[in-house]
Structure 1
Amino acid sequence: MSVPQIRIPAIYMRGGTSKGVFFRLHDLPLSAQQPGAARDAILLRTLGSPDPYGKQIDGMGNASSSTSKAVILSASTRPGHDVDYLFGQVSIDQPFVDWSGNCGNLSAAVGPCAIQMGLIDAARLPRDGTFTVRIWQANIGKTIVAHVPITNGQVQETGDFELDGVAFPAAEVALEFLDPADEGGQGGAMFPTGNVVDELEVPGVGRVAATLINAGIPTIFLDARDLGYTGCELQQDINADPGALARFEAIRAQGALRMGLIQSLAEAALRQHTPKIAFVAPAAGYTASSGKRIEPGDVDLLVRALSMGQLHHAMMGTAAVAIGTAAAIPGTLVNLAAGGGERAAVRFGHPSGTLRVGAEAREVDGQWQVTKALMSRSARILMEGWVRVPGDCF
């Protein structure tokens, strides 16, 4: 007996170098309006997961961690905030949704999408100018401030802001990630071990130096030279090497354990979204994936990061926050790769080009505090209407 499909209002958006399906909480079926199996099942089916072929052909996903994402928005009941933002990283080939962290790229789309969904009173919008949307990031309990451009009373989406990793220019959305260091949320203090550099003993790999930081998203930074890399690698250099991917996952699991994010190494397989793992190197010239030439003087350092077990084609927004934060604190591997000293901002090279990120850091009673991290992205609605899923999928 066949079961008809149901349709759910949704908006398909690009935010930064990611894409995702955005839902309004109260448009979801009642059983999916709270965390649990029904919600996960709907998001998995929407994106086309789990897909043993790894292609997500029967869904909205595009077979990469950057595009297998879902967002749930609702008007915020939290004082001083406009919208609550919940992010789900949908596994491509496994039946799970990882709710353990934020997506910094899609953070740029939250403000524009909330306005489009009617979650913000249109009477508050200026006819022209910038509208500030205060976002409560529900996964990690943090505030993000988005500065959304408005033209003729509508969100401006087109413009001349160029973002490496995105083919076409668009309007700039400036983001502030307030108090990005995780003090008692996902994993404790900014440096959960109390050190700016630790040494991890990884079976099959050996000893590796690592900066373990909670800022934007829990992240493990490594020195490219310790791994035999230059920092100029592109996606195929890492993703086509199963041995390299296995080594990175082994290091990531040990780092997650040291950070207190998991209690046993086996848990790492079910916590793919966090922590992220990245490697850094001093500035050098290379040719980006687009063919654009990056000269040593264009950047302060090089960073390559993995997401969901694969080298990212550009840079995750939350990892960029971690980069900016770590760069501002003397002695971290990121800071040392950038040349050391105190820094308010860095421009780093990634596989698709460059990105600038800033952080306001200060030392108080021997402890480093970061009040905000800043960067710009862009966002655009690609499609709006309804997604359809089989009525028995949840």
Structure 2
Amino acid sequence: MSQVPQIRIPATYMRGGTSKGVFFRLQDLPEAARVPGEARDRLLMRVIGSPDPYQKQIDGMGGATSSTSKTVILSKSERSDHDVDYLFGQVAIDKPFVDWSGNCGNLSAAVGPFAISNGLVDPERIPENGVAVVRIWQANIGKTIVSRVPMIDGQVQETGDFELDGVTFPAAEVPVEFMEPADGEGAMFPTGKLVDDLEVPGVGTLRATLINAGIPTIFVNAEEIGYTGTELQEAINGDDRALAMFETIRAHGAVRMGLIQHADEAASRQHTPKVAFVASPADYVASSGKSIEAADVDLLVRALSMGKLHHAMMGTAAVAIGTAAAVPGTLVNLAAGGGERTTVHFGHPSGTLRVGAEAVEVNGEWTATRAVMSRSARVLMEGWVRVPGDVVPLA
């Protein structure tokens, strides 16, 4: 029987917004994993516990959901006008790959606190008390994020009374601002239209808003696919036919957006794009038992991540929602009542969320200038993760 000693790697397990992930400093990774490639992916998959045909990630740090199968690599920024470079890896649960195609908006809230606590931000930029402004370069999509981290006696403040639906306990508020959040280098509306007729085999022709902001997202109307917008996770995730329908919508939307050439390529690009459905306000009971009144929200949104209905709302999808709501005529904007707006308050399965966004039209083309929302973050555990020594070369 062969025996391979385990290696240990400094790591921190953090919650950011409604997600959790394993955070690493680039310098702490084995040398072979400090650059993109197979060695890095093998290491991160083994840390998280993937691929797992049982879809439980028992032998790793993952929590067997899209919200908890995440990794982050941080380093001092190579850009003089930024503090930290942030790379996000979404680890597939039952398949052997790491998706590097997008950002995680929720974990973005934990980047600033981690960077400060782990020596990645110039001490001169960190006040003893007050708010530290951390300038983050989001390396997956080449965008700037500005995080405002509360400080007390030279330490990151993690506890507080800020409540976030989808997170059980209150914590310190961390406002996160996404600058020029249109994803990638292409147009914010890649087809040039605010609403498309999207042909989906086996489903029909759906009206859809296809937007690159925060993360590429496909929005459709709930009523066109047989829903009300008040659904909770079990209504979707326990229905294999529904999940197959959403994946088909996602795949054909990805083709229309120019993200892939053929629909079958979507299987190897699980993180992006997202697919979401919207509806006008209605009363419902959130997964926590909290009553959400129609009068308290502008619209309802449900979004899928990694093939399942999300328990709350992905941070990047919230940016897409806020940005789309700011553009008159999109499906998101129309569900919210139409007109011009700079903030939107929407209902999701766990409760509600408010996001602000600004969009401008220049020469007939829309672009987003900024989006902002408040999240919270907290260190759950820190020390070392261990993996078998044959997972990645040590040099």
Instruction: Give secondary structure in 2 for the equivalent of 1:266.
Output: helix
Find the partner of 2:258 among 257, 260, 268: 260
- Indicate the percent of aligned positions where both proteins have the same amino acid: 75
Structure 2 counterpart of 1:5: 6
| Residue in structure 1 matched with residue 381 of structure 2 by the alignment | 383
- 1:299-318 to structure 2, matched below 5 A, reads 299-318=297-316
For 1:14, the aligned partner's letter is R
In the other structure, the counterpart of 2:82 is 81
Pairwise CA distance, 1:120? 1.2
Corresponding residue for 2:217? 219
What is the rounded CA distance, in whole Å, between the counterparts of 1:301 and 1:385 in structure 2? 42
**Counterparts of 1:302 and 1:292 in 2: how far apart (Å)?**
15
Q: Which residue of the partner structure matches residue 348 of structure 2? A: 350
1:365 Cα offset (Å)? 2.3
Residue 198 (structure 1) aligns with:
196
> Which residue type is aligned with residue 8 of structure 1?
I
How many angstroms apart in 1 are the aligned matches of 2:162 and 2:184? 34
1:100 counterpart SS class: coil
Letter paired with 2:79: R
Give 1:366 shift. Answer: 2.2
Distance in 1 between the 2:52 and 2:242 partners?
24
Greater than 3 Å deviation, 4+ residue runs:
none
**Aligned-residue offset at 1:125:** 1.4
Residue by residue over 1:204-232, the C-alpha shift from the partner in whole angstroms, topping out at 9 and shown as x without a partner, is: 11111110000000000000000010000
1:271 and 2:272 matched? no
1:265 and 1:108 map into 2 onto residues whose CA distance is 33
Amino acid at match of 1:355: L
Paired residue secondary structure (1:34):
coil
Q: Select which of 329, 338, 341 maps to 1:340.
A: 338
Partner residue in 1 for 2:131: 130
Contact 2:189 2:366 in 1 (8 A): no
Q: In the alignment, which residue of structure 1 is the partner of 2:107?
A: 106
1:31-80 Cα shifts (integer Å, max 9, x gaps): 00000000000000000011111000000001100000000000001120
Deviations 1:77-131 (A, max 9, x none): 1120000000000001111000000000000000000111111133431111001
The TM-score normalised by the length of structure 1 is 0.98
What is the aligned partner in structure 2 of residue 116 from structure 1? 117
Question: Counterpart in 1 of 2:24?
Answer: 23
Matched position secondary structure for 1:382: strand
Kept in 1, the 8 Å contact 2:141–2:184? The answer is: no
**How far 1:391 moved relative to its partner?**
0.5
Q: Match for 1:170: what amino acid? A: A
- The answer on whether the counterparts of 2:211 and 2:324 sit within 8 Å (CA) in structure 1 is yes
Does 2:278 align with 1:280?
yes
One of 276, 288, 291 as aligned partner of 2:289: 291
Structure 1: tracts of 5 or more residues without a match: none
CA distance in 2, matches of 1:146, 1:99: 22
Note the C-alpha offset of 1:22. 0.2
CA distance in 1, matches of 2:289, 2:123: 43
Aligned to 2:58: 57
RMSD: 0.7
**Is residue 2:68 matched to residue 1:67?**
yes
Residue 231 of structure 2: SS of its match in structure 1? coil
8 Å Cα contact 2:142/2:184 also seen in 1: no
TM-score, normalisation: structure 2: 0.98
Partner of 2:182, secondary structure, is coil
Residues 181-240 of structure 1: per-residue CA shift (max 9 Å, x gap): 1351xxx21000000000111111111111000000000000000001000000000000
Determine if contact 2:83/2:122 at 8 Å carries over to the other structure.
Answer: no
Match of 1:44 in 2: 45
Secondary structure, counterpart of 1:297 in structure 2: helix
Q: For the Cα contact (< 8 Å) 2:72–2:87, is it kept in 1? A: yes
Q: Find the partner of 2:231 among 230, 233, 241.
A: 233
Partner SS, residue 249 of structure 2 = helix
d(CA) in 2 for partners of 1:225, 1:241: 17
1:169 maps to what in 2? 170
Determine helix, strand or coil for the equivalent of 1:326: helix
CA contact (8 A) 2:130 2:152 kept: yes
- CA distances 1:155-205 after superposition (whole Å, capped 9, x unpaired): 000000000000000000001100001351xxx210000000001111111
Whole-angstrom distance in 2 between the partners of 1:225 and 1:79: 49
SS of the equivalent of 1:245 reads helix
1:182 and 1:205 map into 2 onto residues whose CA distance is 28
* Aligned partner of residue 126 in structure 1, secondary structure: coil
* 1:345 maps to amino acid: T
- Structure 1: how far apart are the matches of 2:108 and 2:118? 15
* Matched residues, number: 391
Query: Quick check: 200-209 or 34-43, which moved more?
Result: 200-209
What is the rounded CA distance, in whole Å, between the counterparts of 1:355 and 1:168 in structure 2? 16
The residue aligned with 2:147 is 146
CA distance in 1, matches of 2:367, 2:62: 38
Quote the Cα distance in structure 2 between the aligned partners of 1:336 and 1:316.
Answer: 21
Q: Does the 8 A contact of 2:143 with 2:180 survive in 1?
A: yes
- Alignment correspondent of 1:248: 246
